[in-house]
Every structure is written in C-alpha cells, then in structure tokens.
C-alpha cells in the first residue's frame, strides 16, 4: 500500500496541508494513519479517489461521499464473491482493498463488515456463513504469517472463550491477534477449557497481560482458567474482549476492551507500553462501544 505524507497528499489534491487537516476535522476524510513518529500518513487510494471525485463534484461533502462510495465497492465485491462461493475472487477483493488501505483498515473496513453482512443475510448458523468464516479465518492466518517478527518485549496471552472457529467473536479475536502481532507483540491463543499443562506453556511464553476473548465460555470455566494462569504466571493485568453480556462492571475489576479489534489492540498496546490508559472502566468502554455502534448505524 502506497502512503503519502501530508505535503504530498496536499500536492495531489492541489490544496494546502492546512486545508487537508481542516477536511479531516470537518468531513473525517481522508482519514490518515500515523507513522511511528505520529505524522499523518494518507493512503494513496483514498487521496486519488477524492481527487477524481473533486473534479466532478459540486462540494467537498459530495466529493467525499463519492470517494467513500468508490472505496466501499470493495465490500460489495467481497460479499458477492463469498456469497457465490468463489474463494479466488474473495482473495482478489482483499488484494484490491489492500491496494488502498493498510492491513488493519482492510480487515476493519472490508473483511469484518462483509462477514457481518453475510451473517445477517444467511444467519450465523448457516452453511454460507461457515464457508465465509473459514475463508476469513484462513485469510487472517495467512496475513499473520506475513507479519514481521516481534519487535516489542510485550507478550499477550489470549484466553479463547469463543464457541469455535465459526463464532463471530472468533473472527474479531483473530483480527485482534493479527493487529497486535503486526504491531510487534508476541501473542498466544489458548482455549479457556484447557488448564492441564498451563504452567509449562506459560513458563516458556512469559505473558505480560491476559485477554479473555469471547462470550461463549461460562464465568466458572473462565475463572478456573484465570486462576490457573495466575498460579503459573503471577498476577497479570486481565482484560475482557467481546465478553458482551458477561461483562458486568460491578462484578469484575478486569478492564474491558472496545469491541472493535483495531481500538482494542490500541488500548492493549498502550497498556503494555505503560502509557496513560485510554479507557479506564467498563462503564466508559460501554459508553464508547455504544457511541461506536450509534455512529456505525
């Protein structure tokens, strides 16, 4: 994926860098990522789509709307490919998405929304969902194999409390794992049902934080597993990811991560890097998740 610095993106659009930042505030587009030095990095595809839309637009708003439509075409292509059970086309759709976005945004803006669409259309217990979920899991694993080797000392243990690979939370968990690995963290996923031999594995892995992901395993089972982890690795910060209805701020001291894998991995890395906490309580996270759903709707 080709990225542009602010001055380069401004030159492509024939505007000043200040104007580009004003558009980001007013229209939320183009939406830059940040470099390790916290500088804005714009994806060339987004900037080019906006440049083309501006040529034929009557306002910046309508051009932004058009540019967004052009980019959202990737989601339609992926849904179409998976609905017609064409795996090669699905891979091509993700390749097209990657040409315009980072891996993280391709997953969050194309793969996961497409899977949501398929789940809503066919049901999460249907064969088309199972077909699509297996492809998505495979794609996320392939992307993880291409990730650079770990750069951070951070090691995170994920307790898999999802039902199985076809659980919608399992996809989000795999996405969180991918994003964290790409950010340089070491990740290990273990099912919360398996306590035997936990000590040996954790002694070798040396986790610094624990994420309990998924809504299927009961609290008793999770508590037994968490006790096993604590006995083997000591007291570690525990966070909950997509525990849904089981997340009760009154009963747990564990921090709740946002539902979005992208937001969750940022909070997790902030926590591991010892930065100030972005989210401090289950209540705040619940509010943030509600706000996110509202905006998404």
Partner 1 sequence: MSARPNLIVLPGHADRPRPEVHFCGHCGRAPEIADIMPASRVCDRCGLGLLLTAPAEAAPSPADPFLLIDGTLSICAVSRLAEGLLHVTETEAVNRHVTDLLVPADAEASGPESLVNLVVHAARGEGETHDVVLRPADQFGIRFWARVGPCGPPRAALLVLADGRA
Q: Which residues bind partner 1 (CB under 8 A)?
A: 13-16, 18-19, 22-23, 26-27, 54, 56-63, 65
Binning the chain into helix, strand and coil, the percentages to the nearest 5 are: 60, 10, 30
- Is-contact 272 185, C-beta < 8 A? yes
Closest approach, Cβ 133 to partner 1, in A, equals 33
For partner 1, which is the closer residue by CB, 50 or 161? Answer: 50
Q: How far is the CB of 127 from partner 1 (least distance, A)?
A: 37
Q: Kindly tell me which of 51 and 163 has the beta carbon lying closer to partner 1.
A: 51
Is the Cβ of residue 61 or residue 84 nearer to partner 1 in the bound state? 61
Q: Which is nearer to partner 1, 63 or 256 (CB)?
A: 63
Least separation, in Å, of the C-beta of 152 and partner 1? 38
Smaller CB separation from partner 1, 18 or 280 = 18
Decide if 112 contacts 78 (C-beta within 8 A): no
Q: Distance between CA 14 and CA 10 in Å, rounded?
A: 6
Sign of CA dihedral 235, 178, 260, 102: positive
Q: Which is nearer to partner 1, 56 or 125 (CB)?
A: 56
Query: How far is Cα of residue 17 from the mean position of the Cα atoms in its chain?
Result: 29
CB of 39 to partner 1, least distance (A): 21
Q: How far is the CB of 10 from partner 1 (least distance, A)?
A: 10
Q: What are phi and psi of 37, to 5 degrees?
A: -85, 10
Beta strands in the chain (DSSP E): 3-5, 33-34, 40-43, 155-160, 186-191, 209-213, 238-241, 255-256
Length of the chain in terms of residues written: 297
Shortest approach of partner 1 to residue 114 CB, angstroms?
Answer: 23
């Amino acid at each position: 994926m080709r990225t542009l610095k602010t001055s380069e993106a401004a030159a492509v659009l024939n505007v000043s860098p200040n104007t580009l930042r004003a558009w980001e505030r007013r229209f939320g587009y183009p939406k830059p990522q940040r470099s390790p030095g916290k500088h804005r990095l714009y994806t060339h595809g987004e900037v080019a789509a906006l440049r083309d839309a501006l040529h034929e637009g009557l306002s910046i708003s309508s051009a932004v709307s058009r540019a967004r439509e052009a980019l959202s075409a990737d989601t339609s292509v992926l849904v179409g490919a998976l609905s017609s059970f064409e795996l090669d086309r699905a891979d091509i759709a993700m390749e097209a998405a990657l040409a315009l976005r980072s891996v993280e945004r391709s997953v969050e803006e194309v793969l996961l929304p497409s899977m949501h669409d398929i789940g809503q259309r066919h049901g999460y217990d249907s064969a088309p969902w199972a077909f699509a979920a297996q492809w998505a899991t495979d794609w996320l694993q392939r992307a993880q194999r291409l990730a650079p080797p770990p750069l951070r000392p951070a090691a995170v243990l994920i307790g898999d409390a999802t039902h199985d690979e076809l659980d919608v939370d399992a996809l989000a968990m795999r996405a969180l794992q991918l994003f964290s690995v790409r950010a340089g963290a070491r990740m290990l996923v273990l099912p919360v049902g398996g306590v035997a031999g936990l000590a040996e594995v954790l002694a070798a892995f040396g986790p610094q934080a624990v994420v309990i992901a998924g809504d299927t395993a009961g609290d008793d089972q999770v508590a037994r597993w968490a006790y096993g982890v604590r006995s083997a690795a000591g007291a570690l910060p525990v966070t909950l990811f997509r525990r849904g209805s089981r997340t009760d701020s009154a009963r747990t001291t564990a921090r709740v991560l946002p539902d979005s894998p992208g937001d969750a991995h940022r909070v997790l890395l902030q926590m591991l890097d010892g930065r100030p906490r972005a989210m401090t309580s289950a209540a705040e996270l619940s509010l943030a998740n509600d706000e996110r759903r509202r905006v998404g709707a």
